[in-house]
Amino acid sequence: MARQDTPLFLHGFDLGGHFVDLQPLGTGVTGLVLSAVDQRTGQRVAVKKLVMRDTVSVKHGLREVKITHRLHHENVVRVHEVLAPYGRPLPRDPTLLSALYIVQECMETDLARLLEQGPLPTGHATLLFYQLLRGLKFIHSANVLHRDLKPANIFINTDQLLLKIGDFGLARIVDPHYSHK
C-alpha cells in the first residue's frame, strides 16, 4: 500500500497509478479539483473528489454522478468516468465508499478568471453568450436545473473560444417521477 506522502495521495487524492502530474486546479463546494494526465490516454483531465462523509454527502455525491452521466452536449463539461478510491471502478453499492472521483475533461480557464483580465471584445462575448444559452437549453431540456450557475462554473478554452458549463454539485432533476431521496 502507498504511503501518505507519495504522489498517489497528493492533496488527499488516492487515484491509483493511472494518473500523473497532479496539479491543483481550483476549489469547489465539495473540495479540491486537480488536473492530471491519464496515462492510459495521455490526455489531461480534471479530477473532482467528492468526499462521502455522511448520508447527506453520499446522497449529494450520487445525485451529481447521476446528473453528470445524463448530460452529453458540446457546451457541457464531459465526464469520462467515475472512480472509487485507488482508481478502482465503482462497486455495486457506492454508499460504502469514503470518496468518489469524477474524471472529466479539463478546460483551460473559467469565465471569472477571464473577466478579471478585462472586458471581452463584443464578438467574443456574443459567441460565448450564445454557447452558454445553448448549454442551458440542453440542460433544461434534460429536466435538470443547475442551481449554481456563476462565472467560476462556466469553463472556457480561449484558443477555440469554446464554452462549457460544469460543476453540477447543486443541480437537481426536475421530474415528477424522480425522487431526490
Provide CATH code, domain 7-173: 3.30.200.20
pLDDT at residue 181, as a whole number: 56
Q: What is the DSSP string of 154-176?
A: EEEETTTTEEEE---TT-EE--T
> Is position 38 annotated as part of the catalytic site?
no
pLDDT for the residue numbered 178: 60
Instruction: Say whether pLDDT at 7 is over 60.
Output: no
What is the SS3 string spanning 67-124? HHHHCCCCCECCEEEEECHHHCECCCCHHHCCEEEEEEECCCEEHHHHHHCCCCCHHH
The full length of the chain comes to: 181
**C-alpha to C-alpha distance for 51 and 87, rounded to whole angstroms:** 15
What pairing do the DSSP bridges indicate for beta strands 99-105 and 154-157?
Answer: unpaired
State the pLDDT confidence band at 3, using cuts at 50, 70 and 90.
very low
pLDDT the model gives residue 5:
40
Considering the chain, what percentage of its residues have pLDDT values greater than 90? Answer: 61
Q: Which residue in 5, 21, 93, 148 is the catalytic one?
A: 148
Residue whose grid cell is 483580465: 117
pLDDT tens column, 13-59: 888 888 999 999 887 666 689 999 999 999 999 999 988 888 888 88
**How high is the pLDDT of residue 14?**
84
The pLDDT of residue 122 is 98
pLDDT at 11: 62
pLDDT one-digit tens code per residue, 96-135 = 888 999 999 999 999 999 999 999 999 999 999 999 999 9
Which of these, 48, 70, 71, 52, lies nearest to 60 by C-alpha position?
52
Question: Can you give the pLDDT at residue 80?
Answer: 94
pLDDT at 1 over 70: no
Angle subtended at Cα 44 by Cα 161 and Cα 106, rounded to the nearest 5 degrees: 40
- Short-list 141, 143, 65, CA closest to 104: 65
The model's confidence at residue 179, banded by pLDDT at 50, 70 and 90, is low
Q: Could you tell me the residue ranges of all domains in the chain?
A: 7-173
CA angle 97, 91, 82 (to 5 degrees): 80
Measured over the CA atoms of residue 164, residue 162, residue 23 and residue 83, the dihedral's sign is positive
**pLDDT more than 70, % of the chain:** 90
